Chains A and B, each alone.
Chain A
Amino acid sequence: MTIDTPRKLTGVRDRVDLIYRGVTRSGGIIVLVIMLAIGVFLGLRASQAISADGFEFFWQQAWEPDAGKFGIAAVLIGTILIAIVAVSLALPMALGTSLYISEYAPLRLKKTLIGLVDLMAAIPSVVYGLWGFFALQGSIVPIAKWISQNFGWIPIFAVDGYDPNDPLSTTTVFTSSTFVAGIVVALMITPIMTSIMREVFSQSPIGEREGALGLGATRWGMIRSVVLPFGVGGIIGGTMLGLGRALGETIAVYMIISPVFVIQPHILQNGASSISSLIALKYGEASAFGMSALMAAGLTLFVVTLIVNFGASAIVARSRSGASS
């Protein structure tokens, strides 16, 4: 008995096909090459600072490269804190908006709402920054004050230097904080999170929806049993993409925070830091060595963002909704 070997398939490709394959393939390769080139460039430029600093780069908090004392401990943690605040505010907002648009909104309102969300994404970040600095900051202080007074026993909400019993106590300790910057960044990442989630929710299989409704589920029951389980990959993926954007947000953060170069875990307190705003602040006046140190900080941000984005795409690809798309 002979084992059947599969027949070898040969196809004659059209010229148009070949050209199309070539164009798409080179497009994909170029993207990879550019990413690699950015990484190599950052690595080369950063090598001078990193080799001078050694492992101290990872645990030093101060940023005085010309005095030989610099590291990313404070700025990296500051970046992550701002991103966490932003995502934890943006996630409920985006989830609610996308569910409303895809499930509840009347048809004629739907397109307008989608347009509005897209419009929100089109606002330049400097406008968000100006708004956050001049309009939001003054009005958000009472909220920050309330949180710190009632939840101050949780370490991250504690604020030093404010005495609620003293009417003359200054409220500036609540300004320029991780919290204020996080709110503004949350508004900036909400649109992208919303549109990804909405896209995924709208793809949830119509048969299963009708099945759930036919078995007597309410609309919310249908959403809970069909749409959300189907779209969980989209929710996580959208959130991770939002997180990636939040980590890199520059100008709005730069305008709001009062930079400090110590690990500042009190998110409501004046003083915050982030890698991208550090670069925006210092690159104009950096010496050659200072520039190398900034490149090292940029490399760190690049790596962190890459990890987050790869994680997001892996999760989206493994989920049921992502596999089909």
Chain B
Amino acid sequence: MFSYIRKALSAAVALGATIAFALSAALPAQAATAYVPISGAGSSWSANAVEQWRTNVQQYGMRVNFASTGSSDGRNQFRNGTVDYAVSEIPYGLKDGSVVDSPPANRPFAYMPIVAGGTAMMYNLTSGGKQITNLRLSGEVITKIFTGVITKWDDAAIKADNPSISLPSRKIVPVVRSDGSGSTAQFTAWMAAKYGSLWGAYCNAAGRGSGCGLTSNFPVVAGKGFVAQPNSTGVAGYVQQRANDGTITYVEYSYALNAGFPVAKVLNKAGYYVEPTAQNVAVGLLGAKINADLTSNLTGVYDNADPRAYPMSSYSYMIVPKTNANNFTNDKGKTLGAFANYFLCEGQQQAPALGYSPLPINLVKSGFDQIKKIPGASSVTLDLKKCNNPTFSADGSNTLAKNAPQPADCDKKGSTQCASGTGGSAGAGSNGGTSAGGTTTGGTDATGGAGASGNSISGPMSCNADTGQCVAVTADAVKISAEPSWTVGNTIMAAAVLLLIMIVLLPPVLSRVLKRK
């Protein structure tokens, strides 16, 4: 018995060695440029892009590690010298409550923009058993939701934003970040700038002292029904659980795309409700003022008057070291420089597909200037033609923003509303939609208790006897596609289950059998 096993084992090892040798012989290029592994931590807002890029550069032999632990943690780790680079949405030196997030004292650094994106309002809401995918919200309503002023989905203010949706009388459950996060910082900065009194009052109620302004830690008032979860995956994962109907969170657009969930269209200065697509973010960020150290002032983005602009657009930054302090070496700099070279140029192509927006040409150029400050980074010249960045043009203007489509008429603030789905549920039809402007709804004063006074939605109505709320009963045909009985996927799944069972059961059984022999 034993000798048989040993023989089989040695045969397997020999086979493996042969294959490995053949593979190594087939890929001689890999050994040509050796890269030292580097590691970083930070933002989960931009983590989906960074993850994709670091996977892509593995083919060049680069080992880039990234821990998506939140911007605050990333900045702290960079300051303490435990990581080679950090990713953060906000720079050092901002005042959070009474504490100034001081820059690292003896580790000179530079900011390098890595990608743009929109902080999206991802939500999970059903009405009559059907998911709502075309919700629209104005900035003030969003602020009121996240400060606990508006607590029901059928609030008059939300109805005013959504004339064609029959909203359920469900409690709104805002889902916020429990860890220190750049998403929270971006979101609270926007609320503090635009709706300072609402946000200030909430902050005071949470015990943060006089109107906290921008903060990385969302203050939660106990008993308001807010849910706090760590990391972007945490909040998005919480919202996407089917039972958690009525939840809404702020998270980067890519998380909604990955989850297959809709995002709310947000009202901009021009009176249009827009989605944080790559184009709308690019248009919105034309209003950003770039400072000398490449950080940005976003006040102009919030009030960008272009009808296509998404107001909560922002950049994400990599914080890179300028000296070899804290165990940084020239070899690490070489890897970091090559990685930056990849994502600033080629990597930007993938940004729209991932749910981000590519950087414009001026930031890419400045980013390349920052690469030169990294010790050991080989100076590479930027070949704009090779980048295939969709924002680039011959005259330096942002092509992506220039060619962004104007919003549809049904997205204008008014009595009509587009029916098409948003975010991860784009393409899915939604309920109550009036894209053609055909069936219009009458008055929107349905808050009265007099039953179906103002609504003239055709079709049967169901009225709640207690509240007088009437909801159109939708009976849409549900299309069930004929599924093939047994696919390759099923086979693989069955094999995986079998393998798992074997992993669990084989060791004890085998040990018994072997012992008996």
Q: What residues of chain A have their CB less than 8 Å away from a CB belonging to chain B? A: 62, 64, 66-67, 69, 108, 111-112, 114-116, 119, 133-134, 137-138, 141, 160-161, 166, 168-173, 175-176, 254-255, 258-262, 264, 270-271, 281-282, 284-287
Contacts and interface: CB of A to CB of B under 8 A. Distances in A.
B72 A175 contact: no
B477 to A, nearest CB: 24
Interface in B43-57: none
A120 B397 CA distance: 59
A66 B99 contact: yes
Interface string B170-204: 11010000111000000000000000000000000
Given A255-B234, A285-B70, A111 B512 contact: yes
Contacts of A281: 178-179, 230
Contact of A172 (B180, B234, B246): B246
A66 B212 CA distance: 13
10 contacts: A64-B97, A141-B243, A161-B171, A172-B227, A172-B245, A175-B227, A258-B229, A260-B222, A284-B179, A285-B179
Interface string B238-260: 10011111110000000000000
B505 interface: yes
Contact of A138 (B77, B97, B242): B242
Contacts of A170: 170-171, 173, 245-246
Given A67-B207, A254-B230, A133 B178 contact: no
Given A112-B509, A271-B222, A284-B72, A175 B244 contact: yes
Given A66-B97, A111-B512, A134-B241, A270 B230 contact: no
Nearest to B69: A284
A212 to B, nearest CB: 31
A219 to B, nearest CB: 25
B310 to A, nearest CB: 28
A168 B469 CA distance: 12
Contacts of B76: 284-286
Nearest to B172: A170
Main secondary structure of the interface of B (DSSP, over half): loop
Contacts of B207: 62, 64, 67, 69
Contacts of B507: 115
Contacts of B208: 64, 67
Nearest to A262: B222
A176 B239 CA distance: 12
A69 B229 CA distance: 22
Interface in B469-517: 504-505, 507-509, 511-512
Interface of B: 69-70, 72-73, 76-77, 97-99, 168-171, 173, 178-180, 207-209, 216-217, 220, 222-223, 225-230, 234, 237-238, 241-247, 504-505, 507-509, 511-512
Given A260-B220, A285-B216, A115 B170 contact: no
Contact of B227 (A116, A169, A270, A287): A270
Contacts of B228: 258-260
B122 to A, nearest CB: 15
Contacts of A137: 241, 243
A285 B223 contact: no
Contacts of A260: 220, 222, 228
A85 B264 CA distance: 39
Given A271-B222, A285-B76, A119 B504 contact: yes
Given A64-B207, A69-B207, A172-B247, A285 B173 contact: no
A271 B176 CA distance: 13
A268 B225 CA distance: 14
A258 B179 contact: no
Contacts of A114: 508
In this complex, the member of A119, A160, A169, A285 whose beta carbon has the largest number of chain B beta carbons within 10 angstroms is A285
CB-based closest 6 A-B pairs: A284-B73, A285-B72, A285-B180, A115-B508, A262-B222, A112-B508
A62 B228 CA distance: 15
A176 B229 contact: yes
Nearest to B219: A64
Contacts of B230: 254-255, 281
Contacts of A134: 237, 241
B227 A176 contact: yes
Given A112-B505, A287-B99, A169 B171 contact: yes
A62 B223 CA distance: 14
Contacts of B243: 137-138, 141, 171-172, 175
Nearest to A68: B98
A57 B259 CA distance: 42
B323 to A, nearest CB: 23
B72 A66 contact: no
Nearest to A116: B504
Contacts of A119: 504
Given A171-B243, A172-B243, A172-B244, 14 more contacts: A64-B97, A67-B209, A112-B505, A115-B507, A116-B508, A168-B169, A170-B171, A175-B238, A175-B241, A176-B229, A260-B222, A281-B230, A285-B73, A285-B76
A80 B86 CA distance: 36
A133 B207 CA distance: 29
A161 B244 contact: no
B276 to A, nearest CB: 25
A92 B98 CA distance: 49
Contacts of A160: 223
Contacts of A261: 222
Contacts of B216: 285
In this complex, the member of B216, B241, B242, B243 whose beta carbon has the largest number of chain A beta carbons within 10 angstroms is B243
